Amino acid sequence: MHKHLYKGGMWFLKRSNIPNFNKNEYGGKSLLNTCPNPWVESYPAWHKIPAQGRPSDLDKYFFLPATGFCGDQTTNYEFRTLTSGYYGAYWSSNSRTNTQSFLLHFLNTTVGIDSDDRYWSYIQESTWFK
């Protein structure tokens, strides 16, 4: 793993290395009460500024590529090629409503947890935060 090229993505601290980790909270608050609905990039509870660069202790981190996403019904679900390489979105296994789930969004300047409608074509990964 240490000799591969990682470009266009973000390193995340594994939950086993996060003190007082709570899967039902984000920033010390309940996910249901904190996450914007729908997602708004500038929303203060979502908007966190990530550290830049590669971590020095890679064993404590995992890498998620910025894979881009497909659009919604207004764009005929076309893949947004300009988002690949700098934008990442990953579904969690936790639902918010019958039609929405929580997910991780990131750009090189922002990162956070929020909820969105399930018709968006983000990557589904049940183990991304283990």
pLDDT tens-place string over residues 89-115? 887 777 777 777 778 888 878 887 777
Q: Beta strands 88-95 and 61-65: pairing type?
A: unpaired
Sketch the domain layout of the chain as residue ranges: 9-122
**pLDDT, mean over the chain:** 70
Helix (H) or strand (E) holding 32: helix 31-34
Residues 71-84 pLDDT 10s: 555 555 455 544 54
pLDDT value for 70: 62
Residue 101, CA distances (Å) to 37, 39, 57 in order: 10, 11, 31
* Region of residue 53 (left: phi > 0; alpha: psi -120 to 50; beta: else): left
Q: Specify the amino acid at residue 107.
A: L
